[in-house]
Amino acid sequence: MKILKLITNAIGAKRIKQIALWITLLTLLIPFQGFAQILNDLPPNVKEYVNKLNSYRENVTVTKEEFSDEIEPEGLQKVDMLQLTIYKISKKIDNLSSEEFKDLVNLRNEAVEEDPYKLKDWFSFDGKETSKNLNINSNNVKIKLAAIDKMILNRISKIYNKEIADLHNIPLLAKVKIIERSDEIYEGVRGIKTNVTNYNVIVEDICRGHNILKVGSQMTFYLMNQWKKTKNNFEIGKSYFVGFFAITDDFGKMRLALATNELNDGIYPIENNKVIDPDNSSGINGELLWETFKSKITNVLDLNY
């Protein structure tokens, strides 16, 4: 206290208040500068898609009265403003015309193709900022951009089916040949250890992810060892059609994780240049020439069918 009094006497109480005010303003300003700077540093297509998603949540106000014709009074009393905001924005996405929605999906495709790492990292950053400032009782609630992205996938699922929506959710899709595997004990920053298997592959062809994958190049993806069925489905020297998620790990390293689904673990063997799908989870009735299959995947992603 004596030190504080000496400083106050030296520079004056009024000056102390001015400094305190500036510190407060800077503290409030720095996060917004950081937010704006990170947004500005995004690649063009990713930035455009992020801004488009943001336009759906900006200046969205909700009142319980406006939903009185759609939700019964008893149910309306139980929901909070966050739930109503999600419902309102979801309806906005669902009410887009076919052409508007297709343009939105194409914009999403361009962002995913350009840099899936930056897009995922932005969703993570935005999610933390949004959670930090969340007030579910406000009439103007901001929801996470990742939630709006999910609404787009949900509409794809409603129009077509869940499998097609799942395909849109996977940022990298390719034909690869397995050449090597190795086991790893991955330790995160919190000391949590996970047993993973890394697969080194040659990229033989690409359906999605041309900015990350290159035909003829080698790359590595990983899967968790508890995915025993998936692990046992890969054989060295054989080719597969698979999908990958772009992951930035705990140490900032960019990695590729195998994307799976419920039906066949997301693995389609390729034999004699034919994609094999005995469960018909992709709708190819057993097998299909790779070139035809690749064209089918492209049409699905572009909603051209």
pLDDT at position 76 is 85
Owner of token pair 């069925």: 229
141 & 177 share domain: no
- Host domain of residue 222: 170-301
Residue 296's domain is classified under what CATH number? 2.40.50.120
106 & 193 share domain: no
Beta strand ranges found along the chain (DSSP E): 172-187, 193-208, 218-224, 239-248, 254-259, 268-271, 274-277, 286-289
Domain assignment of residue 17, yes or no? no
146 & 56 share domain: yes
CA pair distance 305, 300, nearest whole angstrom? 7
Domain assignment of residue 9, yes or no? no
154 & 184 share domain: no
Domains of the chain: total: 2
Tokens linked to 199 = 């697969």
Could you count the other beta carbons within 10 Å of the beta carbon of residue 181?
15
Question: CA-based Rg of the chain, rounded to a whole angstrom?
Answer: 25
pLDDT at 137 over 90: no
49 & 123 share domain: yes
Give the Å distances, CA to CA, from 228 to 117, 200, 234, 263, 300.
27, 18, 11, 14, 30
124 & 188 share domain: no
Q: Taking Cα atoms as reference points, which of 250, 257, 120 lies closest to residue 193?
A: 250
Domain assignment of residue 263, yes or no? yes
pLDDT at 5 over 70: no
pLDDT at position 285 is 63
Domain assignment of residue 68, yes or no? yes
Domain assignment of residue 116, yes or no? yes
Provide the angle, in degrees to the nearest 10, between the axes of the packed helices 81-94 and 145-159: 50
- Write the pLDDT tens digit of every residue in 194-210: 888 999 999 999 999 99
- Write the pLDDT tens digit of every residue in 20-43: 333 333 333 334 445 566 778 899
